[in-house]
Amino acid sequence: MKRGLLILQLYHSSGKHNSFSNYLSERGYNIRFFSFFRKENRRFIDKKSIVIREFICFVKLLFNFSTLRNKNIFCLGGFYAILLIYKFFGLFLGKEFRLFIYNFYIHQAGENKTIKNILRFLLKNKRCILIVQSPCEVDYYQKLTSIPVYFVPYCANLVRFIPSGTVLLPETKYVFSGGYTNRDYPGVLQCAMRMPDTKFVLVVSSLNVGFKDLVIPSNVILYKDIMLEDFEYLLSNATVILIPLMRDVGASGQMLCLSAMQNKKAIVYSNISVVSYYMENHAGVPYQIGDINSMEKGLKSVLSDEKLRETIGNNAFKNYENNYTVEHQNKQLFNIIDKNIG
């Protein structure tokens, strides 16, 4: 008899790109999907929109309650909604109900005492298993809850993008950085001021607050809310990739890091656990988090040494190929689920 798994996801459009469901099917699992919305309209949304979205998810789960009974659920979205459903109606979900939470991020908000108390309440759930994407998250959640917490690194396959033609490459070598959450952009701008002869390209979200109060040096090119194709185009042509994380919280900087590794780029990164495990075997140059002098030193060391850039880039690509493809991720996720489903 086939074992079943219900994949709970935010967007219906995500299902056709879910290689993990195919991986499970090939190993004898009967896979079904439950999607809250048809497609994603915005890549990044603000906190108010997240609250509204979770409320809608909660209501939709209430109207589809029978779909959840005695199911093994792999949750990729609507986390607060499904956790609240269990808190309020757990007795009616059946003895065979299992909940695997994956891709659950809280970032800096997790330092708030109220948020910690809410998480303790939601995660007091003997049917729940949490799968996180950074070592620091394992430590964080193990202090809040007694449920099993597993670490599976974020992984991705190499995808080639065709740029839209709306962004221009600098004529000289340049440092690239980008992303939304947990970025020390003020520190990057200070570093750029100290390196006036080096071009910097930053790609940010309009939700990154504070840029209107910052002085943008003349050697910095700033893009906001560009297409993913253009983001990857700028990254793939950069000389050095800078991953300037601000805190060792949540899962952040990993997409940028993996893309840099796939493109054999020299990486300079904050020396914190959320990305440092990717950098084994001399695959990047660390700098002391929050230290502008250290960031500047790291950047100058790779910008001035082409051989070093090539060595780091090749080491990074080997790490990616040997450890961080989607196939590696799928194997680890499968082992966790197969182990915990009776």
3-state SS string for the chain: CCEEEEEEEEEHHHHCCCHHHHHHHHCCEEEEEEEEECCCCCCCCCHHHHHHHHHHHHHHHHHCHHHCCCCEEEECCCHHHHHHHHHHHHHHCCCCCEEEEECCCCHHHHHCHHHHHHHHHHCCCCCEEEEECCHHHHHHHHCCCCCCEEECCCCCCCCCCCCCCCCCCCCCCEEEEECCCCECHHHHHHHHHHCCCCEEEEEECCCCCCHHHCCCCCCEEEEECCCHHHHHHHHHCCCEEEECECCCCCCCCHHHHHHHHHCCCEEEEECCHHHHHHHCCCCCEEECCCCHHHHHHHHHHHHCCHHHHHHHHHHHHHHHHHHCCHHHHHHHHHHHHHHHCC
Residues 123, 41: one domain?
yes
Residues 139, 200: one domain?
no
- Evaluate whether residue 91 is within a structural domain: yes
| Range with the poorest average pLDDT among 165-174, 182-191, 199-208, 217-226 | 199-208
Average pLDDT over residues 194-210: 88
**CATH code at position 140:** 3.40.50.1820
Report how many domains make up the chain: 2
Q: Please state, in angstroms and rounded to a whole number, the distance separating the CA atoms of residues 202 and 175.
A: 8
- Evaluate whether residue 163 is within a structural domain: no
Residues 306, 201: one domain?
yes
The whole-number pLDDT of residue 247 equals 85
Q: Are 309 and 302 in contact (CB under 8 A)?
A: yes
Could you tell me whether strands 72-75 and 3-11 are parallel, antiparallel, or unpaired per DSSP bridges?
parallel
Residues 190, 317: one domain?
yes
Residues 61, 107: one domain?
yes
Inform me whether the pLDDT recorded for 224 exceeds 70: yes
The whole-number pLDDT of residue 221 equals 96
Average pLDDT over residues 121-128: 91
Residues 101, 184: one domain?
no
**Would you mind telling me the total number of residues written for the chain in this entry?**
342
- Evaluate whether residue 55 is within a structural domain: yes
- Evaluate whether residue 162 is within a structural domain: no
Residues 112, 18: one domain?
yes
Residues 184, 135: one domain?
no
- Cα-based torsion angle of the residue sequence 234, 235, 237, 239 in order, rounded to the nearest 10 degrees: 120
149-165 confidence digits (pLDDT tens): 999 999 999 888 888 88
- Evaluate whether residue 164 is within a structural domain: no
Inform me whether the pLDDT recorded for 43 exceeds 70: no
Inform me whether the pLDDT recorded for 60 exceeds 80: yes
For residues 281 and 252, the model is more confident at 281
Residues 7, 150: one domain?
yes
Which domain range does residue 65 map to? 3-155+325-340
pLDDT confidence bin for 303, thresholds 50/70/90: very high
Residues 32, 107: one domain?
yes
Residue reference for tokens 């008899």: 1
Average pLDDT over residues 256-263: 96
Residue type, 305: D
Residues 319, 178: one domain?
yes
Residues 42, 142: one domain?
yes
Q: Please state, in angstroms and rounded to a whole number, the distance separating the CA atoms of residues 325 and 297.
A: 31
- Evaluate whether residue 165 is within a structural domain: no
Supply the mean pLDDT for the chain.
90
Q: What pTM, to 2 d.p., does this model score?
A: 0.86
- Evaluate whether residue 167 is within a structural domain: no
The whole-number pLDDT of residue 14 equals 65
pLDDT confidence bin for 110, thresholds 50/70/90: low
- Evaluate whether residue 277 is within a structural domain: yes
311-333 confidence digits (pLDDT tens): 999 999 999 999 999 999 999 99
The whole-number pLDDT of residue 107 equals 62
For residues 42 and 51, the model is more confident at 51
pLDDT confidence bin for 41, thresholds 50/70/90: low
**CATH code at position 205:** 3.40.50.2000
Average pLDDT over residues 108-129: 85
The whole-number pLDDT of residue 209 equals 65
